[in-house]
Amino acid sequence: MPCAETASGEIFYTLSRGPAGGPVLVLVHGAGGTRLHWPGELRRLPGATVYTLDLPGHGRSGGRGCDTIEGYVEAVVAFLQRLRVERAVIVGHSMGGAIAQTLALSSSGQVGVAGLVLIATGARLRVAPAILDGIRSDFEQAAELITRFAWSPEAPSSLVERGRKTLLEADPDVVWGDFATCDRFDVIDRLGEIRSPTLVVSGSVDPLTPVKYARFLVERIPQARYVIVEGAGHMVMLEQPGKVMQVVQEFLVGIY
Ligand code: COA
């Protein structure tokens, strides 16, 4: 399922316009997600222009899910070129973080990467067989398992319920394809090539992409710093939107 040809025309997105010359952000969601994995605090970040997209095959976008991270990168780059976005901070969550890292590593230079914000992600994203096989054998049960892993015990039940519902509304083939794509992702040996200023954000109680992954990113990416959000799980930006908004704003002040 390569998806470059489905690319830009079918991407659904929302746009929050900030001042001319101000920061431009592109928010890229994770496996089986949609643009609503991002809280309003980031989708409408004060002082910034923010594009929040549904990847191909997700949410309200057309096309099909991709079977490689590079396929998603092509779709995002084509989307940004169509909108004439020449330079942006790429903000990725989980699989979206894999897309952001790969975009920064691509030599195409078609879109300038002003910075990277890598949220609850890693340089390798192996996936537990219980999730991968489970999506194929019993999607509802797998969605239950993913939901259990994705949220901290403190997360409000309304948020968790909404997350479960969004996941169950997704196409199981797309969700499986995303996790299989994550399972193959590995840029561990290439992190030193990332030249963009990078902010790494990690929830302290995230079992899907543990703090160890964030530390590794910060050790290997030359211009990286990291913030651990205490008590947050994998959906850190929905669980603690105010905190994540604050650290992103501080990061932007340093690079714009
Ligand atoms: N950054 C730093 N270290 C990493 C890493 C990353 N992104 N990914 C893996 N590693 C480390 C592991 O901690 C492990 O270190 P260790 O040998 O000191 O324990 C080593 O690299 C090998 O790990 P991994 O590649 O994951 O293989 P594995 O066979 O040990 O484990 C799984 C495979 C699937 C059991 C494991 O990755 C896991 O439990 N994943 C569950 C979480 C999940 O499904 N997340 C979904 C992400 S989308």
Give the tens place of pLDDT for each residue, 80-136: 999 999 999 999 999 999 999 999 999 666 789 999 999 999 999 999 999 999 999
Asked if 92 and 99 count as a contact pair (C-beta separation under 8 A), the reply is yes
126 CA to middle of ligand 1, Å?
Answer: 6
pLDDT digits (tens, 9 = 90+) for 1-50: 334 334 445 899 999 999 999 999 999 999 999 999 999 999 999 999 99
Q: What is the pLDDT of residue 3?
A: 40
**CB of 148 closer than 6 A to ligand 1?**
no
From residue 240, give the alpha-carbon distance in Å to each of 119, 202, 221, 247: 12, 11, 25, 11
Tell me if 216 CB under 6 Å of ligand 1: yes
Separation of CA 32 and ligand 1 centre (Å):
20
Would you call 115 helix, strand, or coil by DSSP?
Answer: strand
- CB atoms under 10 Å from CB of 33, counted, come to 25
Q: What is the pLDDT of residue 108?
A: 65
Domain 3-125+184-255, CATH = 3.40.50.1820
Atom of ligand 1 nearest to the CA of 126: 37
- CA 222 to chain CA centroid, Å, is 21
Q: Please state, in angstroms and rounded to a whole number, the distance separating the CA atoms of residues 186 and 207.
A: 18
Question: For residue range 57-86, what is the model confidence (pLDDT) as tens digits?
Answer: 999 999 999 999 999 999 999 999 999 999
Calculate mean pLDDT across residues 238-255: 97
What is the reported pTM? 0.96
